[in-house]
Structure 1
Amino acid sequence: MNDDYLYQQIASSIKRDIANGLYKVGDTLPAVRTYSEIWHCTIGTVQRAFQLLVAQGIVSTHIGKGTVVINNLSSEPENSLRNANLIHRAETLFLDLITSGYTPVEIENAFNIALARWRFVSQSSEYTDQKILRFAGSHDLVVAWMATHFQEIAPGYNLNVSFSGSVSGLLSLAENKCAIAGSHIYDGQTGVYNLTILKSLFPNESFALITLAQRNLGLIVKRGNPKSIQKLSDLTREDVTFVNRHSGSGTRLFFDSELTRQNIESNQIKGYFNQKTTHSEVAREIAQGQADAGIGLEAAAISNDL
């Protein structure tokens, strides 16, 4: 991967972590060496990312104090665009449910129940009588389901979930901000998931590595594959528009590793920088006709009839 693009990806990943609340104003970011090991890049590349963030007024660097967050990235224009996108998605889902035969009252009641469940698992500070387990890391539909049903799975416990990506999840675990991190970071040199980065982040500590699920990951396309997209090199075609996962996610790291292995430059792929936080968002982008292909889970494809 070209370092000219990589330092921008690292900066974007850090900005996303700040925007999602993983790092707040006054917090110190992990060391440059930590990021270089996670991203398999030189220290100079990470320093270049930090310099970009300093120039944008997001962090400040002080000798002996590390790199400190000085801007929480909240802004009205971004929030307005985010709200407009949310309303559009809500309307799309509403129309789909209406055409499936549900009444507006049934839809509203179902949303209220789902929202109440999610508030219960996400607002952990208000439930001091509950035993709290905090999860941070890779997005997975199974984890989302577990969070909303955790009282049935483990009575007396509450699962607090933050889908922040594999890298951010492991950094949260290293900083004792969560008890469980969801990760699937592929090491292209060894062909092994997670072990390399875990040994780097926890060199003198013991940890438990548990396989929660086996997942099928690949290219998501429209049903029938109308553009006959069969391999990664097809993504470089002029008639193909791609939708990507966000930098810092395990899926993105695997995808970038495969591009490097197959000598495919990211700037050859139209839509490479169109990044989504979850597999579900990638699948919806394709289902709505805004992209021809994306990298994601089979479960997300099936749920969107892809």
Structure 2
Amino acid sequence: MDRTFLYYQIAEAIRQDIRTEVLRPGDRLPSVRELAGRWNCTIGTIQRAYEELARQGLVTSRPGQGTHVTAPILAALETPLRRAALVHRAEAFLLESLTAGYSTIETEQAIRIALDRWRTLSQTPAQLSEHRLRFVGSHDPAVALIAARFADFAPGETPHLTFSGSLGGLIALVEGEADLAGCHLWDEESDSYNVPFVRRLLPGRRVVLLTLAHRRLGFLLSAANPIGVTNLENLVNSGLRFVNRQRGAGTRVWLDAHLHRLGITPEQLPGYDQEKLTHSEVAQMIAEGQADVGLGVEAAALAFGLRFIPLTQERYDLVIPVEVWSLSPVQALARWLATDAAKTELTTLGGYEVHETGRVQWVE
């Protein structure tokens, strides 16, 4: 089960244990053989995960002495991707404000006022509702739609959304930093979605997979598509500039697995290292002429006036622990997804199949 993406998942899980001090400086990591047994993968995959952690300065390995956690380096744990994402969000807000006619001075003043108000609120016991649902996971326009409609079927409730990729969502569940996660992770060995990853990352926990929809994933291109791209092989030596999703995103997991299967290396795709956090950001890069092709959902192509070439259909599930499943806002969400009105709204976005929307699957 040696998949090109699995080593990163393992490295990320260990990195999180180091960050939260489950693993401390000097602690010895399991042997590669032991960890390979836990993850049901090859020894080579574990070795690659340890090499990634060593590259980040988090572990050291010596022959005959094993692999140990090094002294904490906070800078290594604060990923450049997280900082870049925050800057991107700030720039998007600034652009929106300037487009609306506000000056940079007015925008800066508004941010200062908002920060002051937030600091004041954060000092009060009622900073946030105790029952405010925290969503962490893969970006999807349908999730944003649900958030916008949430108060209609669960009055007084507004979920907090954090788009961090499918793996990031599952890891947030593990760490107690999310109530529900959005996930569309394809497992190459079983040719199925989500269940293998949930069982691997949340062993022994009872969770619900609430299906949001099946969605079409494919190439996003300018309307012209001059060289007639229809598959991944067409991108090799094509001269097209690719824009990628970040590591841990379900789209990236699918891409890396299929590139590996086809024998295509990242070096053969100019722009492979150019990463974006959402389908919308990928589409925007192409629409603005900063890239020629990327992978994304059909809804993003429609929103930005791009050509869409379908490659696969994937299932997007909301992963919900049993203790969260019983909450009234979550039950209201499940009931709403089962309605014809919800399915009609999802279909209107474009690129979604709703025959399983609202389906409940228990994983134990």
For CA contacts below 8 A with separation 6 or more, give which structure has more relative contact order: 2
Compute the displacement of 1:79 (Å): 9.5
Compute the displacement of 1:296 (Å): 0.8
Compute the displacement of 1:65 (Å): 12
Q: Tell me the alpha carbon deviations over residues 32-70 of structure 1, each in whole angstroms, 9 at most, x when there is no partner.
A: 899979998534434443444345444689x99985893
Counterpart CA distance in 1 for 2:278 and 2:192 is 23
| TM norm structure 2 | 0.61
Residue aligning to 1:155: 155
Aligned amino acid, residue 273 of structure 1: D
Q: How is 1:7-26 mapped onto 2 (pairs within 5 angstroms)? A: 10=8, 14=12, 24=19, 26=21
Residue aligning to 1:292: 292
Q: Equivalent of 1:71, from 70, 73, 94?
A: 73
Q: Which region of structure 1 is more displaced relative to structure 2, 263-272 or 292-301?
A: 263-272
Q: Which runs of 5+ in 2 are unaligned?
A: 307-364
Q: How is 1:26-65 mapped onto 2 (pairs within 5 angstroms)? A: 26=21, 28=23, 42-54=42-54, 56-58=56-58
| TM norm structure 1 | 0.71
Compute the displacement of 1:12 (Å): 11
Counterpart CA distance in 2 for 1:198 and 1:235 is 32
Q: Which runs of 5+ in 1 are unaligned?
A: none
Residue aligning to 2:266: 266
2:296 aligned counterpart, secondary structure = strand
Residue aligning to 2:222: 222
Q: How is 1:1-306 mapped onto 2 (pairs within 5 angstroms)? A: 10=8, 14=12, 24=19, 26=21, 28=23, 42-54=42-54, 56-58=56-58, 70-73=72-75, 103-104=101-102, 127-306=127-306
2:305 aligned counterpart, secondary structure = coil
Aligned amino acid, residue 259 of structure 2: L
Change (3 A) 1:82 1:257: closer
Q: Tell me the alpha carbon deviations over residues 129-172 of structure 1, each in whole angstroms, 9 at most, x when there is no partner.
A: 45121211111122234335533442233312221111121122
Q: Tell me the alpha carbon deviations over residues 250-271 of structure 1, each in whole angstroms, 9 at most, x when there is no partner.
A: 1111111222333322221111
2:233 aligned counterpart, secondary structure = helix
Counterpart CA distance in 2 for 1:68 and 1:152 is 50
Aligned amino acid, residue 252 of structure 2: R
Identity %: 35
Check conservation: 2:10, 2:46, Cα contact below 8 A: no
Change (3 A) 1:272 1:88: same
Check conservation: 1:167, 1:183, Cα contact below 8 A: yes
Check conservation: 1:186, 1:253, Cα contact below 8 A: yes
**Structure 1 runs of 4+ off > 6 angstroms?**
29-40, 63-66, 77-84
Q: Which region of structure 1 is more displaced relative to structure 2, 161-170 or 84-93?
A: 84-93
1:132 aligned counterpart, secondary structure = coil
Alignment length (residue pairs): 283
